[in-house]
Amino acid sequence: MADLYEVSEVSEEDRRGFYNATTSTVTDMGAVGYGRSVRQTLARSPAILRRSDIDGLNIHVNRAAVVGDADGCDIRAAPGAVQFRDLARQSVSRLDRVDVTTLIVPRHSAPATLLTKRAHGLVIPPEVAGARLLSAQLTSLVELAELLSEGEVETAIQAALMIAVRITGLEVEIAEAEIAAIHRTVRRSASRYIEARLNALDSHIDGSAVAKAAGVSRATLYRAFDGEGGVNRYVQYRRLHHARRALRER
């Protein structure tokens, strides 16, 4: 715990009756666990961030109220809410009591959308059906983990992350330069396929077949050829080019 959080604000009464019960399962994909303890404050302070070896995404469900802040933004979570924390960012959580199910995923395994600044400190209320689904998924995984193979645990973690991405409603923002690079790659793959079909004197080149050859959806294919007036216009242009070349070679 000392490498994960600074613990403070434990009352004298709670110190006398202090308890801390935890269970966890760890794989290369991440760790799931359950913990119970007294009322306390848990902080990822600058000092903890400098010395901590734990980095990544923390998704947790506490069955008691939580207030605090994430990088200066207020957090108020009702019992049973799903909460998100980037462990490389500062946070403070004041828990009425610790009764928490947690998933911690290394940074390299976490979905990029859940590591954005917008996701840090995000709270999904317990009345949201997706929050209840994710809570049930994590609770079941903790309870069954010792009966599952490592591969099955990692598959369950991946499923939990898919649910988490869906319920946040967040989308990954891709830089224009990255989008342009993706579109160039799509155009190269699609163009090679189109040229091969034209050289084979194929009279019909279907957009769905071009998209499949390029390994993308039709929507992505059409966006990649926006500058050429669309993929069908590009095919027409290349077909005319081949026809002119054939006439010149006669």
φ/ψ of residue 153, rounded to 5: -65, -45
Single-letter residue type at 211? A
- Give the burial string for 152-169 (b: 16+ CB within 10 Å, else e): ebbebbeebbebbbebbe
Here the tokens at position 181 are 């690079």
The mean per-residue pLDDT over the stretch 220-224 comes to: 89
Q: What is the pLDDT of residue 133?
A: 96
Q: pLDDT tens digits, residue range 134-169? A: 999 999 999 999 999 998 999 999 999 999 999 998
Q: pLDDT tens digits, residue range 109-141? A: 898 899 999 999 999 999 999 999 999 999 999
Calculate the alpha carbon distances from 72 to 37, 68, 120 in Å. 26, 9, 11
Give this prediction's pTM. Answer: 0.67
Q: What is the pLDDT of residue 193?
A: 93
Instruction: Show me where the domains of the chain are located.
Output: 6-168, 176-248
- Residues with Cβ < 8 Å from 191, sequence gap 6 or more? 234, 238
Superfamily of domain 6-168: Jelly Rolls (2.60.120.10)
Give the model's confidence band at 220: pLDDT under 50 very low, under 70 low, under 90 confident, else very high: confident
